[in-house]
């Protein structure tokens, strides 16, 4: 089998199933279709399995079973391509979903849909990782933005950008939560610092601290508004 294995790796010309990638707001996981590779001659089957092994998207279970098949008999390779590949991919998909469930950053909608997929069929798990994860994450993102809008502490810039995101696309909501909220909060904080500086009774120490915050990072501005000004 060593000669055959070397030959099929070098002569990789057979088609194998593509792996789908889900790319949601805070996380990503692999999902493969359940379509098995075309079963032809043993040489072709070996090539197909070698390509699966060479695919960086192949998971641990897929690689484990592919290696067994490649080192086994022609019947092992047929069995792997006919049913084993799909079974191993489903095992990897289940592991990926379990990791999503264990992630403390996963929201209510993500956990709800992940549990449905984990308790469902292999096709359900493929669908969740391919599209359902992203949809559920967007639902959680929309809820998070709605809470920001309902927060009385949210300023004008934060509310303006939150409304844009809520009425926009899933990508808009992701961008707002990842970066837009921070920038909008900094805009509101700069306005708040400017109002402090405009007060006629401001002390020299507070003025110095406010100017320092104004030329600092968004995090330094936030610290000054929430804590620093009171310490001064």
Q: Enumerate residues 6+ apart whose C-beta is below 8 A from 45.
A: 14, 37, 39, 74, 77, 78, 81
Low-confidence winner among 14-28, 40-54, 121-135, 178-192 (lowest mean pLDDT): 14-28
Q: In whole angstroms, give the CA distance from residue 55 to residue 18.
A: 9
Domain boundaries, the chain: 2-144, 156-231
Determine the longest span between alpha carbons in the chain, in angstroms: 88
Q: Is pLDDT of 218 > 60? A: yes
What pLDDT does residue 21 have?
Answer: 32
Write down the pTM of the prediction.
0.76
Q: Is pLDDT of 16 > 90? A: no
Q: In whole angstroms, give the CA distance from residue 26 to residue 12.
A: 36
pLDDT digits (tens, 9 = 90+) for 127-173: 999 999 999 999 999 999 999 999 999 999 999 999 999 999 999 99
Q: In whole angstroms, give the CA distance from residue 28 to residue 136.
A: 13
What pLDDT does residue 38 have?
Answer: 54
pLDDT digits (tens, 9 = 90+) for 52-83: 999 999 999 999 999 999 999 999 999 999 99
What pLDDT does residue 40 have?
Answer: 80
- Among residues 144, 154, 131, 129, the alpha carbon closest in space to that of 174 is found at 144
Q: In whole angstroms, give the CA distance from residue 14 to residue 74.
A: 16
Residue 186 φ/ψ, nearest 5 degrees: -65, -35
What pLDDT does residue 34 have?
Answer: 42
């Amino acid at each position: 089998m060593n000669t055959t294995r070397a030959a099929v790796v070098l002569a990789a010309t057979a088609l194998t199933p593509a792996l789908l990638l889900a790319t949601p707001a805070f996380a990503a996981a692999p999902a493969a279709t359940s379509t098995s590779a075309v079963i032809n001659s043993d040489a072709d089957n070996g090539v197909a399995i070698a390509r699966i092994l060479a695919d960086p998207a192949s998971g641990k279970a897929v690689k484990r079973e592919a290696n067994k098949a490649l080192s086994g008999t022609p019947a092992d390779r047929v069995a792997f391509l006919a049913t084993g590949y799909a079974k191993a991919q489903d095992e990897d998909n289940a592991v990926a979903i379990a990791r999503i469930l264990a992630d403390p950053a996963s929201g209510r909608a993500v956990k709800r849909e992940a549990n449905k997929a984990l308790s469902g069929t292999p096709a359900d798990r493929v669908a969740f990782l391919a599209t359902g994860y992203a949809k559920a994450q967007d639902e959680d993102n929309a809820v998070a933005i709605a809470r920001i809008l309902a927060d009385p502490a949210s300023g004008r810039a934060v509310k303006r950008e939150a409304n844009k995101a809520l009425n926009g696309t899933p990508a808009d909501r992701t961008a707002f939560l990842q970066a837009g909220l921070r920038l909008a909060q900094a805009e509101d904080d700069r306005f708040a610092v400017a109002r402090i500086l405009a007060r006629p009774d401001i002390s020299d120490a507070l003025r110095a601290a406010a100017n320092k915050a104004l030329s600092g990072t968004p995090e330094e501005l936030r610290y000054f508004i929430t804590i620093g000004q009171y310490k001064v």
